[in-house]
């Protein structure tokens, strides 16, 4: 599989699109952590920090599918870059105004979340424009899931490093400037400028008219809740075990675990139904959340965080294949954006729920939440397994003619079971 990764990275524009997307997504990936640290640095409560992070996440959840649909309709550069600039401006207002007045703080983080550019869904729509074969696209999905864990590993460390060297305010500003530069790199690339979505059937539900997609959204809502709850519970744990530095290492450990798990998962090609494999992966993910309730010392807790992240990237790589399979014609960016949205809503609900839980019952109960959420996600997949397994036509993805003049927009790639 390493050879397969190298083959993809040698494709023209592939490295630029991958790196640019990861950098462009950095403000969104670290928003919850940065907001929590900023509010706590100003003397705010856990509930206030969780509430503002939740407001960002809910607004982001609303904006992603709407912006994804606009990308499918009008192309990437016009939508992605404008959204990135508005989002960064909203976070800058929050960084300078702080939490007083509180309505302005909520409005600023809501604007930042609402206009977060759908770079993640956009990248997955671009892979068929850059790669020549269906199997390469599936490998790219796996590589995508692995590569983004580098961001989730490095991102928390960057936030805490900026906060330690300068301030939590500086962390918010610097990360958003970097994010705009990443988005600019993507939208100026030839594949992004030339990409056009396949023709779509006019329907107000868009991608949501797919039953299989709805099942995946339901399951990954609770995976998001689990991750969001870990974010807040870890702050409470770190307050008693070393402060912000320990918190940064705990968050980075989750990303490191996902990176390791994704790398191993991508080292082979998998046979058998992807929907059955997804159920197993989500079950293992839920089981690995349970040891967090032991709350040992900082070093051991960091190792448990690595374990908690091991099956995240494999589950994401697997679900990407299934989203591609179940997305209705002409809605590929929107479908992937709905997955991002659901994940974000879940994370926001997790942060908003766990703040009061920690204040009521302590850190232990904060770490009970991810185990329960993981169990519910598994239950959703078990109950609705027949919907995911139902035969469907492959998703239609638009391609550019740059690599192959015979490949016109609207070429159909039928998703197989490789992730």
Answer yes or no: is 233 within a domain. Answer: yes
Into how many domains does the chain fold? Answer: 1
Q: What is the mean pLDDT of each run of 10 residues along the chain (419 residues)?
A: 74 90 89 87 81 86 89 89 95 91 94 93 85 75 77 78 86 92 95 78 74 92 93 87 81 85 76 87 95 91 94 89 81 84 83 86 90 94 86 45 36 36
Q: How far apart are CA 375 and CA 392, in angstroms?
A: 28
Answer yes or no: is 167 within a domain. Answer: yes
Query: Could you count the other beta carbons within 10 Å of the beta carbon of residue 45?
Result: 13
Alpha carbon distances (Å) from 408 to 75, 129, 248: 16, 10, 46
Contact 137, 131 (CB under 8 A): yes
Q: How far does Cα 260 stand from its chain's mean position?
A: 17
Q: Which two tokens stand for residue 32?
A: 């919850």
Percentages of the chain per state (helix, strand, coil), in multiples of 5: 80, 0, 20
List beta partners, residue 412.
396
Those residues whose C-beta lies under 8 Å from the C-beta of residue 147, and which sit 6 or more positions away, are 18, 22
Answer yes or no: is 404 within a domain. Answer: no
| CA quadruple 314, 68, 135, 219: dihedral sign | positive
Can you give the pLDDT at residue 1?
53
Q: How far apart are CA 168 and CA 33, in angstroms?
A: 10
Answer yes or no: is 383 within a domain. Answer: yes
Contact 357, 369 (CB under 8 A): yes
Q: Which two tokens stand for residue 260?
A: 């390791």
Q: How far apart are CA 377 and CA 280, in angstroms?
A: 11
Answer yes or no: is 400 within a domain. Answer: no
- Cα–Cα nearest to 70, from 12, 114, 4, 20: 114
- Cα–Cα nearest to 163, from 178, 174, 177, 154: 174
Answer yes or no: is 103 within a domain. Answer: yes
Answer yes or no: is 418 within a domain. Answer: no
For position 35, which CATH number holds? Answer: 1.20.1250.20
| CA quadruple 354, 358, 359, 361: dihedral sign | positive
Q: How many residues are present in the chain?
A: 419
Answer yes or no: is 410 within a domain. Answer: no
Look up the domain containing 32 and give its range.
2-199+206-389
Backbone conformation region of residue 357, classed left if phi is above 0, alpha if psi is from -120 to 50, else beta: alpha
Can you give the pLDDT at residue 202?
59
Contact 99, 43 (CB under 8 A): no
Please provide residue 271's backbone torsions phi and psi, each rounded to the nearest 5 degrees: -100, 165
Q: How far apart are CA 261 and CA 41, in angstroms?
A: 34
């Amino acid at each position: 599989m390493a050879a397969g990764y190298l083959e993809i990275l040698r494709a023209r524009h592939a490295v630029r699109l991958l790196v640019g997307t990861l950098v462009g997504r950095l403000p969104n990936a670290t928003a919850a952590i940065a907001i929590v640290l900023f509010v706590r640095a100003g003397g705010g409560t856990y509930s206030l920090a969780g509430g503002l992070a939740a407001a960002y996440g809910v607004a982001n959840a609303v904006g992603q599918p709407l912006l994804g649909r606009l990308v499918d309709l009008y192309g990437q550069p016009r939508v992605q870059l404008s959204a990135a600039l508005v989002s960064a401006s909203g976070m800058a207002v929050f960084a300078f105004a702080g939490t007083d007045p509180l309505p302005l703080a909520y409005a600023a983080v809501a604007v930042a979340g609402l206009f977060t550019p759908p770079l993640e869904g956009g990248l997955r729509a671009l892979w068929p424009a850059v790669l020549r074969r269906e199997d390469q696209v599936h490998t790219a999905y796996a590589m995508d899931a692995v590569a983004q864990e580098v961001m989730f590993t490095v991102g928390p460390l960057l936030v805490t490093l900026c906060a330690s060297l300068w301030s939590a305010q500086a962390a918010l500003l610097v990360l958003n400037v970097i994010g705009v530069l990443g988005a600019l790199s993507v939208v100026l690339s030839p594949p992004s400028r030339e990409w056009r979505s396949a023709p779509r059937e006019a329907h107000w539900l868009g991608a949501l008219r797919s039953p299989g997609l709805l099942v995946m959204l339901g399951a990954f809502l609770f995976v998001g809740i689990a991750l969001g709850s870990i974010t807040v519970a870890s702050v409470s744990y770190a307050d008693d075990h070393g402060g912000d530095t320990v918190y940064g290492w705990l968050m980075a450990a989750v990303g490191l675990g996902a990176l390791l798990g994704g790398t191993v998962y991508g080292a082979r090609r998998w046979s058998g139904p992807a929907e059955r494999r997804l159920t197993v992966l989500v079950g293992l993910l839920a089981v690995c959340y349970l040891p967090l309730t032991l709350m040992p010392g900082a070093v051991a807790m960091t190792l448990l965080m690595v374990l908690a992240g091991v099956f995240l990237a494999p589950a994401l790589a697997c679900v990407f294949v299934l989203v591609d399979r179940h997305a209705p014609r002409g809605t590929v960016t929107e479908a992937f954006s709905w997955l991002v949205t659901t994940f974000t809503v879940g994370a926001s609900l997790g942060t908003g729920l766990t703040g009061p839980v920690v204040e009521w019952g302590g850190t232990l109960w904060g770490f009970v939440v991810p185990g329960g959420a993981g169990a519910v996600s598994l239950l959703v997949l078990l109950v609705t397994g027949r919907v995911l397994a139902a035969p469907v036509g492959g998703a239609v993805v638009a391609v550019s003619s740059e690599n192959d003049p015979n490949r016109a927009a609207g070429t159909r790639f039928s998703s197989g079971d490789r992730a």
